[in-house]
Amino acid sequence: MEAKPHDDKQIDEFIQGNNYLPAKKAINRFEQEQGKEVSLPKKLPFRPTHKFGQLTIEGDLRLHYLRVFNKPHQDFIISVLAPESKIEKHIFSEDKVVTLKDGTKAYFQSKDHIHTLMFKKKGWGYLLTGSIKQSKDYDLEGLMEIAESI
């Protein structure tokens, strides 16, 4: 048996520690439970080397995209909430309100280098989250571009 590179061992531990599944499997389970297809962004902030997913305790879908061959590593998280009204508990009065090209109202949060864009679209609630320490693509304009690709 060959020894795994250090990064592979860390990723295996990361998967197990978060109870992650391959993203496609998590998406399929979520769609089966919800009885409808989920719409996901066609644009991501980077080309992922790894794609994981999980169904949360609340029954939502969390997708975690990771790129480990760059330093620093990059990761991006998409949460899909069902029903879309669950998004209300994530929105605060100090969030910046913006409008996507299709007229969708979105809410932008910036806390401790973490940027999140929240919105309702196609019957789902979405949270797009990334750290600006890793990429400028997680600024408001970058997150809006990703949201508009749904």
CATH of residue 85's domain is 2.60.120
At residue 16, the pLDDT reads 65
Residue 122 covered by a domain: yes
| DSSP H or E run through 67 | strand 61-67
Report the Cα 87 to chain-centroid distance in Å.
Answer: 14
R_g (Cα) of the chain, nearest Å? 16
**Which distant-in-sequence residues (6+ apart) come within 8 Å of 94 by Cβ?**
none
Residue 1 covered by a domain: no
Instruction: State how far the alpha carbon of 53 is from the alpha carbons of 42, 98, 99, in Å.
Output: 17, 28, 28
At residue 68, the pLDDT reads 80
Q: Which residues pair with 141 in a beta bridge?
A: none
Q: pLDDT tens per residue, the chain (150 residues)?
A: 333 444 666 666 666 666 789 999 999 999 999 999 999 999 999 899 889 999 999 999 999 998 887 666 788 999 999 998 999 999 999 999 999 999 999 999 998 889 999 999 999 999 999 987 777 778 999 999 999 999
At residue 108, the pLDDT reads 97
At residue 15, the pLDDT reads 64
At residue 3, the pLDDT reads 36
Whether the pTM exceeds 0.85: the reply is yes
Domain that holds residue 64: 6-148
At residue 2, the pLDDT reads 34
> What is the domain count for the chain?
1
Residue 16 covered by a domain: yes
Residues 130/111, Cβ–Cβ less than 8 Å: no
Residue 109 covered by a domain: yes
Residue 71 covered by a domain: yes
Residue 97 covered by a domain: yes
DSSP result, 118-135? EEEETTEEEEEEEETTT-
Residue 119 covered by a domain: yes
